[in-house]
Structure formats: structure tokens, C-alpha cells
């Protein structure tokens, strides 16, 4: 297990590792043959500045060495919005550049709203069974001022994302937004016999 985070990079990496561990455990429970599912490995898509994705990928590879066949694909935000759909990953992560930039004096170019929305929707609809968006909280980490989870054009809640708690470093605060394909639309509670006038007839007749 990873130790307590001492930097924002470690906090983000630890959070991703926890999600991966949870998803692998869930896959094992859901699979009829857990050994075959584990052998298939886990595919992760990382989207951020190239240097940042390399740092996160290296930390995750060390964490899961000899534990999991972890395949990591990395893209910059600009490349990701241009590529054609080629496969669906177990987990897709976007990390805002200001969260893990190791040169705070270097000016950062904030990601525009349209690009962020495109990344969120492409991950949700095409590229990942579960998506994570790590965004700087307004006024922290050198990121642009913005409402938490809400931009001037759209809300991440409107896109089906939910806010997850994340362990943070002392000097930088972030939000992690999640979309899980299998949790997004749960089975309606009325699709059972509990509230039927004649529960013995539930699911026996078709109209």
C-alpha cells in the first residue's frame, strides 16, 4: 500500500491507485472466472501534460509491480480531443496541469471550457468504463478562478459526473469528479414486486 501522500502528485497517484484496486476487486467479484479476468490485465488512459503523465504512470507502475498487469496509455489534452476512437479503457483519467506542475514560476495555459467539456464527454461516452477528472479548486494550485465543478458554460453534474473525496496535500486542493458507466443509471426501484397491488403476478404478464 502507498504511504500517506506528501505532495499533490503523490495524493493524485494514490487516489488513482485506490480506484484501480477497487475496480479490479469488483471485476473479480463480477467475473465467473476471476483468474482469466486478472490475466487480461487492467488498461488505464492518462490525459495531461506529457511530463506529468510520465510521472504518474511511473508511480503507478511501481505501485502495481508484480500485482497487476497494468497497461498505461498517455495523451496530452490536445491530442486526446483529436484522436479517433480505438478502444475502451477500464479507467480514464484527466489531470489538470496546474495540480502537478513542478515549475510553479512557469506560466500555465488554462484549459478552455470547450476542451474540458469535450474531454469529459469523450471519456464518458467512448473511451472509459469509469472516468476521473482531477481539477484544481478555484484560487489554489495556480489554476484559473472558476466555480468548483461549474464553468461558465456547463456543469460537470449535468454531464453525469459526481464529486469524490480526495486526500489532499497541505498547499494544493483539488476536486475529483467521477463518472461510472455502471452506476450512472441504476435499475429503478419500482421494477420489483414490492409496490405492486398483486405482487404474485409481477413479471408474469405482458401487455
CATH architecture of the domain with range 8-183: 3-Layer(aba) Sandwich (3.40)
The residue-averaged pLDDT of 35-44 equals 67
**Amino acid 163: pLDDT:** 86
Three-class SS state of 186: coil
Task: Give the whole-number percent of the chain exceeding pLDDT 70.
Answer: 61
Residue 144's pLDDT band, with cuts at 50, 70 and 90, is: very low
pLDDT in tens, 165-190: 665 555 555 788 999 866 655 555 56
Domain boundaries, the chain: 8-183
**pLDDT beyond 60 at 37:** no
The residue-averaged pLDDT of 137-163 equals 62
Residues 56/48, Cβ–Cβ less than 8 Å: yes
Could you give the C-alpha distances from 180 to 76, 92, 132, 133, 157, in angstroms and in order?
22, 10, 9, 12, 13
**Amino acid 30: pLDDT:** 67
Amino acid at each position: 500500500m502507498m504511504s500517506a501522500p506528501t505532495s499533490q502528485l503523490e495524493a493524485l497517484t494514490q487516489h488513482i491507485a485506490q480506484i484501480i484496486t477497487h475496480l479490479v476487486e469488483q471485476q473479480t467479484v463480477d467475473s465467473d472466472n476471476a483468474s482469466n479476468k486478472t490475466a487480461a490485465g487492467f488498461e488505464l488512459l492518462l490525459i495531461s501534460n506529457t511530463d506529468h503523465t510520465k510521472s504518474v504512470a511511473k508511480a503507478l507502475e511501481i505501485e502495481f509491480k508484480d500485482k497487476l498487469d497494468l497497461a498505461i496509455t498517455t495523451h496530452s489534452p490536445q491530442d486526446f480531443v483529436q484522436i479517433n476512437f480505438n478502444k475502451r479503457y477500464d479507467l480514464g483519467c484527466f489531470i489538470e496541469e496546474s495540480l502537478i506542475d513542478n515549475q510553479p514560476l512557469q506560466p500555465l495555459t488554462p484549459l478552455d471550457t470547450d476542451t474540458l467539456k469535450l474531454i469529459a464527454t469523450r471519456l464518458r461516452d467512448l473511451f472509459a468504463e469509469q472516468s476521473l477528472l482531477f481539477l484544481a479548486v478555484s484560487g489554489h494550485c495556480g489554476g484559473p478562478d472558476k466555480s468548483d465543478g461549474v464553468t461558465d458554460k456547463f456543469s460537470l453534474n449535468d454531464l453525469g459526473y459526481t464529486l469524490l473525496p480526495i486526500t489532499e496535500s497541505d498547499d494544493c486542493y483539488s476536486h475529483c469528479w467521477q463518472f461510472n458507466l455502471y452506476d450512472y443509471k441504476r435499475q429503478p426501484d419500482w421494477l420489483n414486486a414490492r409496490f405492486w397491488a398483486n405482487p404474485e403476478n409481477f413479471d408474469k404478464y405482458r401487455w
